[in-house]
Amino acid sequence: MVLLALPESSRQNGSTMTQKPVAMPIARRAVLAGSAMLPFLPRLSLADTAPASDRFIWGVSTSAAQIEGAVTEDGRSESIWDVYARQPGRVADGATPAVACDHYHRWEEDVALMQRLGIGAYRFSIAWPRVLPEGIGAQNDKGWDFYARLVDALLKADIRPMPCLYHWDLPQVLQEKGGWFNRDSAAWLTEYAQAAVRRLGDRVNHWFVLNEAAVHAVFGHGSGEHAPGVTGGDAGVLKALHHQNLAQGSALRAMRTERAGLTLGTVLSLQPVVPDSDRDEDRQAAIRWDAVWNRVTLDGLMRGALPEILAPQMADLVEGDDLAIIKAPVDILGMNYYSRFTVRAQPGWLFGIGWGKARTDRFTAYGWPVEPEGIGEVLRELKELYGNPPVLITENGAAYADVPTGDVSKGGGRIDDQDRIAFLRDHVRVMQKAIADGCNVKGYCAWSLLDNFEWQMGYRMRFGLVYVNFAGNRERTPKTSFDWFREVARSGVPA
């Protein structure tokens, strides 16, 4: 039984709602498939294969669709985001990822920035349409050569490459075959995963398969706010989720068969779900959203099960030994955390939920609440309910209105982003407290190295430790947070 307590004072955007604290018992185990604790997974360290020592890893993350650009160069085909962004009204200011941060041409500069940052790991993604332009079949040597050069440069800089196979940039040719609504997507991803290991597995040990399957399903296949822009409602969300889970399980098995000794994982967006009030409708909405956002992926991966509350809706999706395939042991669990969810019952949106008032007076430029305590809540739940798996924080960061002083057109100027430093510091401190309490956290990657193409918000939202001059020639200027994070990576202490 988890008690979700509402504080006396709740604020959002300057308004205050005062109420007595209400302890609301929500039997979250009841919506999990099975209540028995899982066997402990091997306590593998991210540094087990490092030439130096078994140390906590500090790193940064990016994704191909958000930074690479060069979307028509060297044999790359279109992704769903290339097509989506060209549709009028889809992305703020009509922005597209066509150039993004121009990382495809400036990758050496970006590796030098990471080396200067003093990090030990870099989680990036491989652009599926760059290496398999038809999604399956013929491979693009020029695409693989780009990633080979990147990996070699990272290793030379003593930075561990940790590629993610899929960060939302499905080749458009596969979308035209049904995309994640097609069960064949499991075979597509598996073929791609095998190709990646054959091409880079001699140098890359740590791999992640998917990034945030729930986010991709909800906003890309349910509400249509992300690529591919499908408004499939509840059924669309669950179908895309199930097929991503199935593809992930199949790919993980194929990668282990392809090459022994790899450290394999996947990345989930995990966020505590809090009801907006003590009304039963809001409590039930919180249980539903927790099941959709957190449990379909987590219970599938760790237990080979569906959340009971969603099992009737997903029954027609499950065939044969699907759940046995989806239950795939991982060596490392990637966890992305940004905030809690505060939800209320709201007929008309997905799963009958709407957004409530977050109980904080801190918000990012994106309007996301700043709730560092939530990262500890997720880590403790993984410890208590899921056997304390080895966890890498693969994304944690915030968008703020970074206003440079001085000339950034030549990579100069200054961006004193104290709000971002406070965000990162508070989350790292909560994470470190969770580690002291026994949570099995192996590393932390800040989102993100660079300001980038932020999906439907285009270039309006800046998450980077490095400022990118999108109004000019994509010049890079490290922010004050860059220097702060460099010291954290050196000392392990968030001053």
Judge whether 61 and 123 are in contact, CB under 8 Å: yes
What would the 3-class secondary structure string for 337-403 be?
A: CCCCEEEEECCCCHHHEEECCCCCCCECCCCCECCCHHHHHHHHHHHHHCCCCCEEEEECCCCCCCC
Separation between Cα atoms, residue 483 and residue 418, nearest integer Å:
11
Helix (H) or strand (E) holding 216: helix 213-221
The yes-or-no answer on residue 212 being catalytic is: yes
User: Out of 191, 377, 395, 454, which one is annotated catalytic?
Assistant: 395
For residue 359 the two structure tokens come to: 């109980």
User: Out of 212, 371, 377, 475, which one is annotated catalytic?
Assistant: 212
Find all residues with CB under 8 Å of 415, minimum gap 6, and list them: 402, 403, 404, 405, 408, 467, 477, 479, 480
Lateral strand order in the sheet of 273-275: 273-275, 341-345, 353-355
Strand partners, 414: 405
* Closest C-alpha to 31, from 275, 203, 285: 285
Separation between Cα atoms, residue 362 and residue 339, nearest integer Å:
11
Helix (H) or strand (E) holding 123: strand 121-125
Residue located via tokens 């030098």: 112
Separation between Cα atoms, residue 325 and residue 307, nearest integer Å:
17
Instruction: Show which residues are catalytic.
Output: 212, 395
